[in-house]
Structure 1
């Protein structure tokens, strides 16, 4: 298999394939008490060998300076770490560097063709439980007590290793090792370990509401449906909210949103000028429902922005579906056709038209169950599209279509209470 130049960022350094003047390894653990690291190092090395930056209960780095009686002269060991802001056991979307890195690690492991598929699945299950990343650097290499100290630390933290090869594992191959030093999975798919335990601290589990049976059943249906469509998704993605917790947008909110979108869309396709639509929206009390980005576009509809706005056809389609004006969303690789929406129920028919009749007919949304089913499905399909891009592969689902529909569905379910311009489509 072709190995990428950079697998994923490992805190404190990038893991290249070239040899470097020091040896590195990274420990990944669900543990958050880093006082254990300092305690372990103090138990293994005498005080004169240690230099600690920061307070004992919140240290920033630990350096072990070589001594002739313990270490070969000139060798040092440096330990740093980073953690999740909020400990957990799932990989929700986040801009936190450690979460971003874990997503990259998960995607990397997922694409390896493993000899021991069950062990690979256990490693994939363990990655989302990681709360702390501990980077260990040895100059010029791990040897003697340095190696034994690192292995003791792995046991203390119930951690697994990522390494590109060093004297600890006696290999030049990149891979993952368990706390005993047994190979969990290397880039060629090989393993020597036979088992990997996945532990989740109960206090973290209890602090997060576990998904309901309905949410888990919805997730399973979506995965099965995507599989039947030839779309690969990830079983590790969490379940979304369920009917008992979701607060959908009101029919009036949805009607106002689609009315504005349909009017702005006429400018995107070049049928009307921005100033004409501004007048129309103001005349029909829709200007207050027009977002800052839409107002900016109408003021200066550049060709680049017009192209971007034409994609909002898919959002209009989803919202019309939610209002029962469209029978089904259709395929994920087929562009919607707004001409299929009967003119009598379409909100915008020109600047001389009055949207009052549309508003009077838009009084009810589809059941929350249907909207959540669609949201869950497109959420998982969107992950597949992003994953395909990362792997330079083609996806059976059209990324643009899936993204816009996911966007509209997230707005419908009040995802993170985000206004239209700020909706995120986390994967």
Structure 2
């Protein structure tokens, strides 16, 4: 037996029956339930000489209310999508931009179509399933079968290209995130403030020689945004600066754990940070060094760094005045920093920065997909966009799960 699952934003399951009928005659199909509200579909492929035909059984489940975000819910499909999002988040992907697109697509899923093959997906069945994926604009999750000629667990796009496997590998180069326009019907259109911000960002990027897309939507405006609190930002940056010492090999993970616990900061660490400190491998250390850019952004948000600087240059934490830098060694006390962190930049300034880096990030992704050189530093832009999205509570995502959709 082989299995695969299709995930789609579509809710019209009549399309499934239509596509199966396009591939197989009536004698090969058995529909359980009503034509316009079927429960399962069984398809038997043509028999081969001295061999029985192969069979697939198709079932599905859907959200009770279609949408494009993942709210907290006990619905089985929503619970599964939350689990999938967390699963993808922890994979160390070779293609980080493609991974972020997959993370952005998961919340848009409305329907999960499960397909079971007995004993396997032969040529006729494989062709029908691939056609169905294309019709539904779906992606696959599979633990391995003859459709993808592998036994590795992973995600594939509607063409059969590998989006991401458990080892972090990909062969696909892009993944479109489509949302039905009707799901926006009840949404408030962009405000004049948001549209003006978008226009300013595009003009600023153009002046820098950075091409972005005018098709990207406006971001949230000041009337709808809920910024992280000054206290939460201070706690986050205090944790990051301590972990920074481990990332660069200056400190041992266990010593920083003791420091964080002694300074009542351990509760502010994320699950991924705790895992890193307990076993800081060289590979993970290298990845963690990039959080210097997050530290820079958060200190800027607290008005402890005057400017974010250029998108082409790495930040330099040595430029942060010692009297306002949170970490002063393992024997230091971080209380002084919370006394210094008394200000928070305006929502206007933070949203301006978020909008600008969002559009610059698109340019980096576009350049990568076209195998061109990005006009700004992709790593700098991504990490700063990450921190800025956290600052504006983008999709209410915790630190480890922040997505940088473009």
Q: Give the TM-score normalised by structure 1.
A: 0.57
* Whole-angstrom distance in 1 between the partners of 2:192 and 2:222: 11
* Structure 1 residue 307: Cα displacement: 0.4
| Aligned twin of 1:362 | 341
Q: Give 1:416's aligned residue.
A: 395
Q: 1:326 aligns with which of 305, 311, 329?
A: 305
Q: 2:36 aligns with which of 51, 57, 74?
A: 57
Rounded to whole Å, the distance in 2 between the matches of 1:352 and 1:48 is: 77
State how 1:258-407 maps to structure 2 within 5 Å.
258-407=237-386
Distance 1:236 1:259 in 2: 38
Partner of 1:253: 232
Post-superposition offset of 1:208: 2.2
Structure 2: 5+ residue stretches without partners? 1-5, 19-24, 44-57, 69-81, 86-97, 102-109, 112-123, 125-179
The alpha-carbon deviation at position 252 of structure 1 amounts to: 0.6
Find the aligned partners of 2:350 and 2:357 in 1 and give their Cα distance: 11
- TM-score (structure 2 length as normaliser): 0.60
Runs of at least 5 residues in structure 1 that lack an aligned partner in the other structure: 1-11, 13-29, 40-46, 64-79, 97-103, 108-130, 133-138, 140-199
Q: State the shift of 1:58 in Å.
A: 4.1
Write the distance in 2 (CA, Å) between the matches of 1:208 and 1:370: 25
Separation in 2, partners of 1:352, 1:269: 19
Distance 2:218 2:187 in 1: 13
Q: Secondary structure at the match of 1:311?
A: helix
Rg (Cα) greater in structure: 1
* Partner of residue 210 from structure 2, selected from 231, 240, 247: 231
- Residues in 1 aligned to 2:10 and 2:233: alpha-carbon distance in whole angstroms: 45
State the 1:393 CA deviation: 0.9
Which residues in structure 2 correspond to 1:146-157 (within 5 Å)? none
Rate the CA distance shift 1:51–1:397 in 2: closer, same or farther, 3 A: same
* C-alpha deviation, 1:209, in angstroms: 2.4
Aligned residue for 1:124?
none
Tell me the alpha carbon deviations over residues 282-312 of structure 1, each in whole angstroms, 9 at most, x when there is no partner: 1111111122221221121111111011000
Alignment partners' CA distance in 2, 1:87 and 1:295: 36
Q: C-alpha deviations, 1:313-345, integer Å up to 9, x for none?
A: 000000000000111111111000001110111
User: 1:418, CA displacement in angstroms?
Assistant: 1.3
Segment of structure 1 superposing worse, 292-301 or 336-345: 292-301
> 1:271 & 1:38 partners in 2: Cα distance?
61
The C-alpha deviation readout for 1:152-173, integer Å capped at 9, x for no partner, is: xxxxxxxxxxxxxxxxxxxxxx
Deviates more, 1:224-233 or 1:334-343: 224-233
Which residue number corresponds to residue 425 of structure 1? 404
Residue 240 (structure 1) aligned with residue 219 (structure 2)? yes
- Higher deviation after alignment, 295-304 or 204-213: 204-213
Partner of 1:216: 195
How far, CA to CA, are the matches of 1:237 and 1:266 in structure 2? 38
Partner of 2:175: none
**1:81-120 pair list within 5 angstroms:** none
Offset of 1:368 from its aligned partner? Answer: 0.5
Give, in angstroms, the shift of residue 33 of structure 1.
Answer: 6.4
Distance 1:279 1:50, change over 3 A: closer
Cα root mean square deviation, aligned? 4.6
Moved more, 246-255 or 50-59: 50-59
How many positions carry a matched residue from both structures?
A: 296
